[in-house]
């Protein structure tokens, strides 16, 4: 695949998900995203309205986090967050699935939860965050199949949020694992895209993930990766 620098830039997603982020933090974040000209800015629900206003003169997508970061909200709460996010200007939804239900083999609960958000999004793309770093191989496969059946447009590896709870399950958690991306690509049909998120810090690994099947990348060092892409490869590279 021939990957241009503009395509690479568009695949990058920035996020401001910290609970302590202030209005000034949001403004600085939006300026960073604008300067880097990345494809998507992901925000917590309370900042979607202002963020969409600050970036209204760009073609950047605004994604609203739903059920973030644990996915343990009631479905009706996720639906409300989705509707409010879209009303406030979100053009995409990032939802965390009900991970506990998945691990309890309550697949219908997971399916109904995702489907309700997809319906509430009224055609806007919905990413399902499956939290690969706490799942077995079989659970990852089931999560992907359920997400596609429910109508999700993308499946995302992790929230990227590290907590003491995560370390109870995984002592060395890494969100964007190449083997997971390859597995997800094998399970999902071509119409469902994949977002790799969590621990993408260098260009070589970012390109490996794209080659393995990742369509979007959640990164925090986008400016550095874009600059390195240009300095090493110019306008394009074969991956």
Task: In whole angstroms, give the CA distance from residue 171 to residue 97.
Answer: 22
Task: In whole angstroms, give the CA distance from residue 51 to residue 234.
Answer: 32
Q: How far apart are the first and last CA of the chain?
A: 5
Task: In whole angstroms, give the CA distance from residue 15 to residue 229.
Answer: 21
Contact 235, 3 (CB under 8 A): no
Which is catalytic among the residues 94, 113, 140, 180?
94
Angle subtended by helix axes 75-87 and 107-120, to nearest 10 = 20
Burial degree of 227 (CB within 10 A; 0-12, 13-18, 19+): middle
Which is catalytic among the residues 78, 124, 127, 156?
156
What is the DSSP track for 200-212?
--SHHHHHHHHHH
- Alpha-carbon Rg for the chain in angstroms: 17
What is the DSSP track for 40-52?
EEEE-GGGHHHHH
Instruction: Count Cβ atoms below 10 Å from residue 232 Cβ, excluding itself.
Output: 10
Beta strands in 125-226 (DSSP E): 126-129, 154-156, 193-197, 216-218
Residue 94 is a catalytic residue: yes
Which is catalytic among the residues 49, 78, 127, 195?
195
Residue 156 is a catalytic residue: yes
Residues designated catalytic: 94, 156, 195
């Amino acid at each position: 695949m021939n990957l241009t620098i503009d395509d690479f830039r568009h695949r990058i997603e920035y996020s401001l998900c910290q609970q302590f982020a202030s209005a000034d933090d949001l403004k600085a974040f939006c300026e960073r995203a604008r300067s880097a000209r990345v494809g998507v800015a992901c925000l917590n629900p309370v900042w979607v309205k202002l963020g969409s206003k600050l970036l209204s003169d760009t073609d950047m997508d605004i994604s609203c986090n739903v059920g973030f970061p644990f996915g343990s909200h009631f479905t009706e709460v996720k639906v409300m967050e989705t509707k409010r996010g879209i009303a406030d200007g979100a053009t995409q939804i990032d939802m965390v699935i009900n991970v506990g239900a998945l691990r309890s083999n309550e697949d219908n609960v997971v399916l109904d939860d995702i489907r309700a958000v997809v319906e509430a999004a009224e055609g806007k793309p919905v990413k399902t965050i499956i939290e690969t770093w706490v799942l077995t191989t079989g659970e990852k496969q089931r999560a992907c199949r359920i997400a596609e059946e429910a109508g999700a447009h993308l499946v995302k590896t992790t929230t990227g949020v590290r907590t003491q709870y995560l370390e109870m399950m995984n002592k060395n958690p890494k969100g964007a694992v190449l083997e997971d991306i390859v597995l997800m690509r094998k399970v999902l049909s071509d119409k469902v895209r994949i977002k790799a998120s969590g621990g993408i810090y260098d260009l070589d690994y970012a390109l490996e993930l794209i080659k393995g099947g990742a369509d979007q990348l959640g990164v925090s060092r986008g400016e550095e990766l874009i600059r390195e892409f240009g300095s090493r490869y110019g306008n394009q590279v074969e991956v």
